[in-house]
Each structure stands twice: as structure tokens, then as C-alpha cells.
Chains A and B, each alone.
Chain A
Amino acid sequence: AQSVAQPEDQVNVAEGNPLTVKCTYSVSGNPYLFWYVQYPNRGLQFLLKYITGDNLVKGSYGFEAEFNKSQTSFHLKKPSALVSDSALYFCAVRPPLRGDYKLSFGAGTTVTVRA
């Protein structure tokens, strides 16, 4: 079975400071990992994904994530946070099995960036 853990319910940072949202996963084989962001009363927006290749993945809005196989982590990072980055962030994983496209989501991390 696959699962994702986001150990922090909330992350608070000041604008301009680095932002990190943590995610660890559990899946058989090499994982497909995703980050999504959700603004209030909206659907999820795709930020980035890791399938294979470079461990550092760059995505939308200046976000990036680093895949660390030994630590089974896929932390989301942004060097300089903006107030507009305040939202709910979800990490998701799916197994690399052809035909199995179900995503398992973490519980979500609420990011608040203060001006």
C-alpha cells in the first residue's frame, strides 16, 4: 500500500524567507510524486512532479522539490516566499504500476506567509 505523510499541519514564514513544506512517502518500487496547491474554495493546482531523472524538480510559481530516495522524502521548497503563496499544499504519490493511476494524498499543510 502507498501512503504519504505531511508531518506539519501548518507552516508560517515571513515574506522573503525560504519556505519548506515536508513530505515523506511509502510505496513499493520507485514512486511517482506530486505536489499540488489549493486556494480557498478552489480545486487543486498542479505544481510539479517527480517521475525519474534529476532529484531536483522545478515547478510552477518558483517552487521546486527534492526527491531523496534514502530518506523517502519529497520536500517542497521556495527560496523566497510571497504572501500570495499562502494556501493549502498537498503531497501525493502513486505507484509506478501501469494501469494504477490512483493518487494517495497527504493530509495537507497550511502555509501562511506574513507580510
Chain B
Amino acid sequence: GAVVSQHPSWVICKSGTSVKIECRSLDFQATTMFWYRQFPKQSLMLMATSNEGSKATYEQGVEKDKFLINHASLTLSTLTVTSAHPEDSSFYICSARDKRGGTSGSTDTQYFGPGTRLTVL
């Protein structure tokens, strides 16, 4: 159980276009999803926290108008990179919080998607 999918797995786009990345929890409901960015051979940088039915919470330094997040259902969150530029090229990873298994949600675990490689030409 606890499978998270991402689509697409890779995308190449021209500078100035927008790209949408989907993150789905396949066998559990996720009230909270997270979006990360990872540069080669580096750790994950949290971009934003996506809460179902409410606005996303962005980390300091992340432009919310550039990285639009929508968490429309308990199993789907989308990240749209608007007016993409070459410096936005990166590996984007989502995770979904599975709160099953704990009486108070305190034993929850984040499960990660396989990632999306974005290349902006």
C-alpha cells in the first residue's frame, strides 16, 4: 500500500510555457501533500505544503505566482510551473502524508512519488 504516482515522469518544454505536474495518492487519501525540488546530487528542498480544500503554504523564497499548487481532492495535487525558464529545470518530487495507523495522526508517514524531470529549453 501507500503508493504515490506522478505524471508526467519527464517533460521538455520551451521557455515561457507552463507545465502542469500531477501527484496522486493511489490507495489512500492524503489531506496533505508536499512539493519538493531536488538539484543533482543534492537533498530535497521543500517548496510548499498543499492542503486539500485550502490554499497552499509556500516556503520562504518560493514564488507562489510562479509555482501554482492546487489540491482539489483527497488524492490529487497539481503543481503548475508558469512561464517556465531554464533555471526552473529540475527534478520535482511530491509526497503525500498517510495518516493511517495512528490514533491521533502522530505516526503518519510521507510517501513519495517517483519524481518529474523538467527540462526547460
Known A101-B32, A101-B97; contact A45-B44, beta-carbon cutoff 8 A: no
Give A103 to B115 CA distance when docked, in angstroms.
17
Within 8 A of B (CB), among A57-115: 88, 90, 96, 98, 101-103, 105-108, 110
A114 to B55, CA, bound (A): 47
List chain B residues, Cβ under 8 A from A41: 91, 115, 117
Chain B residue contacts of A34, Cβ below 8 A: 109-110
Residues B44 and A96 in contact, CB atoms below 8 Å apart: no
CB nearest neighbor in A for B93: A43
Assign chain B's interface to a size class.
20 to 34
Inter-chain contact B104/A43, CB cutoff 8 Å: no
> Chain B at the A interface: mostly helix, strand, loop or mixed?
strand
Q: Tell whether A51 is near chain B: CB-to-CB under 8 Å.
A: yes
A45 near B112 with CB under 8 A, answer yes
Whether A43 and B108, one on each chain, are in contact in the complex, defined by CB atoms closer than 8 angstroms, is: no
Which residues of chain B in 78-109 are interfacial with respect to chain A, using CB atoms and an 8 Å cutoff?
A: 91, 93, 95, 97, 104-109
Residues of B within 8 A of A (CB): 2, 4, 6, 32, 34, 41-44, 46, 49, 91, 93, 95, 97, 104-115, 117
Which residues of A are at the interface with B, using a C-beta cutoff of 8 A? Answer: 32, 34, 36, 41-46, 49, 51, 88, 90, 96, 98, 101-103, 105-108, 110
